[in-house]
């Protein structure tokens, strides 16, 4: 069963009974992973930003 993180409400939703997918991050295999979705997304964004700075020679 898939879990989703609703960015509008901060709630974890499950399966096909979710709000509009445009408001969701996921799917995630576990409820815990969905609950940590925002933190994971921020971490990936920071990593991508650092990689882009290195690529552009800004680091």
Residue ranges of domains in the chain? 3-56
pLDDT reported for residue 19: 66
Using one digit for the tens of pLDDT, what is the confidence trace for 4-59? 999 999 999 997 766 677 789 999 999 999 999 999 999 999 999 999 999 998 76
Phi, psi of 18 (to 5 degrees): -125, 165
Tell which residue, 42, 38, 58, has the closest CA to residue 50. Answer: 58
């Amino acid at each position: 069963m898939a879990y989703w993180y609703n960015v509008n409400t901060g709630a974890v939703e499950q399966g096909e009974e979710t709000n509009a997918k445009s408001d969701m991050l996921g799917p995630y295999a576990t409820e815990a992973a969905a609950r940590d979705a925002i933190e994971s997304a921020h971490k990936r964004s920071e990593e991508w930003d650092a990689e882009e700075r290195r690529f552009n020679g800004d680091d």
